[in-house]
Structure 1
Amino acid sequence: MRSIYVVTHPEATHHVERVVGGWYDSQLTPAGVRAAVSIAAALRARVPDDAEVEVVSSDLRRARRTADEVAGAFGVKPIEERRLRERSYGEAEGRSQEWLDQRFVPPPASGDRMGHDVGVRGAETTRTFARRVYAAMEEILLRRCEHQVIVTHGGTLTFVVACWIGMPVESLGRVDFRAPSGSITTLREDDYFRNHQLASLGDTRHLDG
């Protein structure tokens, strides 16, 4: 049974400061660091002691700090993967969320929803965002490691899961898998049929304590 644990980084400074994240390199808050410790402990408890584990992370500080805690629990070093970053919001990054809200253009009800770029200069289209995450995932999945941890962002999670279950990129215009910050989503492949399962989405029980 192959298992992949997709972690959405916990609370970061851009959350509490109400500024746009994206590629803006915010870091974990003290509460976020405590949550990262809880995430690491929860994953350590799920994986057998003798299992091979790989930790792959977005290179942004808020994800990498989370990955450092997880990787430390398994005695490995995290692998940085730039393509697992959140969507780029172009010139909106680091500005107030209110600034973006005033300029945000929602995707069309029909037509080319994959070409949606939120209406802000320099922002990624949904298609570009999805394709880079798929490219990262395709490389990650080639490595036949029994237990893999992917540390990423809330927006990126949708495309990580969609790639796992085999959705074509051009079908993603209306897809949205929601998971809270600091959550763990579990993906599994069974040994017999090789089916790809979404075993759990956005589990936060480890944060209750």
Structure 2
Amino acid sequence: MTRFYIIRHAEAEGNLYRRVHGWYDSLITDNGYRQIAALAGRFQDVPIDAVYSSDLFRTRTTAGAIWKPRALALHTRSDLREIGVGAWEDRTWGDLERHDAQELLRFNHSVPEFRVEGAETFDQVQTRMKRALLDLARLHPEQTVAVFSHGTAIRCLQGALRGLGPGEMDALGHSDNTAVTCLEVEDGQARILFENDNSHLPEEISTLARQKWWKEQGGRAADANLWFRPLDMQNEAAWYRAARQDAWLDIHGPRIPFDGEGFVNDALRCWRQDPAQAVVCAMRGDETVGVLQLDLERHAGQDVGYIPFVYMTPQHRKQGLGVQLIGQAVSVYRPLGRRYLRLRCAPDNAVAQRFYRKYGFIKVGEDKGARITLDLLEKYIGYEPNQA
């Protein structure tokens, strides 16, 4: 008999930024590292003989909670990966709700008819996950093995072990980040002892505790998932100027003159670099809720992705939406090889300062402009192959 602990990876960028990450190799969030520490405490006195994970960064990093304290080897296998979603990779859930709602419904119900260009089917994921489990049982008879995988992949495995095919898994629960499923395999047969247990996570660091989608019957997304559209600076410059003015007055008040023309001209310069990505509106359904401006040329030689403007409309602030704009910046800059995000923030803008600190930005200097001095904040978004 082989005992398995099947563990989902810690909170990663896709969970935080509300983006679809299957085989996309995302990083662990700051909260995810707190979850890893809690997981390590849970397993402190549990005997483990071998550790396996998918070959993606988020699982390999989470696996460190078990293999590092024991000085075990970490074995990686691509057949433990999340479901590959092909053309959906790194799109926002809001974008899919907007532009591919029917296929998203099929995905949420794990039906056999789910088809996306370049993506796996649920049947394929069930087959490879069950095959991987039985292979590991063959390799480790009479041992205890920790296996690190992904939410949908683990759910497919749980369904396969119950004899539930695609389209029959709606009643299965959803796994929190670092949640644990325990099962035993003997003579090719598996017995589930418990599943999706996140009792080691205090509520304040649980990912599912702050999300609603998993509570909705049928798996419908109930959280506010944003999508992004290009802001046409030739026809929407007045809207951009108004957003800039609102942000300026909110931070500085009327004591420092607002240079609307200067801001619009700078946005036009950025927009011409890439009209599709450099200046975008954050959308919640049909409603514009924010603006993100990127300068694709500034600081490019320093491996920096510069963000001149992040804005949420007043009625949509303090709702946890702003981090999705940071996720959009990561999505644009990482493929360009940028290793850092950089932006400026007024030192007396306490709300913005707290927001950026919460999501990993640190002060690296000051920018002494003609009228005011601003803090320079940076966030690391690079990826080192051996970092895990």
TM-score for both structures, normalised by structure 1: 0.82
**Aligned-pair distance for 1:24?**
1.0
* Structure 1 position 206 matched with structure 2 position 217: no
* Structure 1 position 67 matched with structure 2 position 67: no
SS of structure 2 residue aligned to 1:207: coil
| One-letter identity of the residue aligned with 1:206 | H
SS of structure 2 residue aligned to 1:206: coil
* Structure 1 position 156 matched with structure 2 position 153: yes
SS of structure 1 residue aligned to 2:175: coil
Compared CA separation, residues 25 and 123, structure 1 to 2 (3 A): same
SS of structure 2 residue aligned to 1:114: coil
SS of structure 1 residue aligned to 2:178: coil
Tell me, in whole angstroms, the C-alpha distance in 2 between the residues paired with 1:135 and 1:2.
15
Q: Is the 8 A contact 1:90 1:124 kept in 2?
A: yes
Compared CA separation, residues 99 and 203, structure 1 to 2 (3 A): same
Show the counterpart of 1:36.
Answer: 36
Compared CA separation, residues 136 and 115, structure 1 to 2 (3 A): farther
Tell me, in whole angstroms, the C-alpha distance in 2 between the residues paired with 1:89 and 1:160.
17
* Structure 1 position 181 matched with structure 2 position 180: no
* Structure 1 position 128 matched with structure 2 position 116: no
Q: Is the 8 A contact 1:87 1:155 kept in 2?
A: yes
Tell me, in whole angstroms, the C-alpha distance in 2 between the residues paired with 1:194 and 1:87.
24
Q: Is the 8 A contact 2:134 2:188 kept in 1?
A: no
User: Where does structure 1 lack aligned partners over 5 or more consecutive residues?
Assistant: none
SS of structure 2 residue aligned to 1:149: strand
| One-letter identity of the residue aligned with 2:106 | P
Moved more, 13-22 or 96-105: 96-105
Deviations 1:67-106 (A, max 9, x none): 1222112220111011111111111111212122231413
Bigger relative contact order, structure 1 or 2 (CA pairs below 8 A, ≥6 apart): 1
TM-score for both structures, normalised by structure 2: 0.46
* Structure 1 position 16 matched with structure 2 position 16: yes
Question: Where in structure 2 are the equivalents of 1:101-120 lying within 5 Å?
Answer: 101-102=97-98, 103-104=100-101, 105=103, 106-107=105-106, 113-117=111-115, 120=116
Deviations 1:90-125 (A, max 9, x none): 1111121212223141339xxx943422xx322211
Moved more, 126-135 or 54-63: 126-135
Deviations 1:138-179 (A, max 9, x none): 21121215210010111011233345x4637xx343124422
Which of 73, 81, 84 is matched with 1:85 structurally? 81
Q: Is the 8 A contact 2:12 2:29 kept in 1?
A: yes
Tell me, in whole angstroms, the C-alpha distance in 1 between the residues paired with 2:5 and 2:85.
26
Structure ranking higher in strand proportion: 2
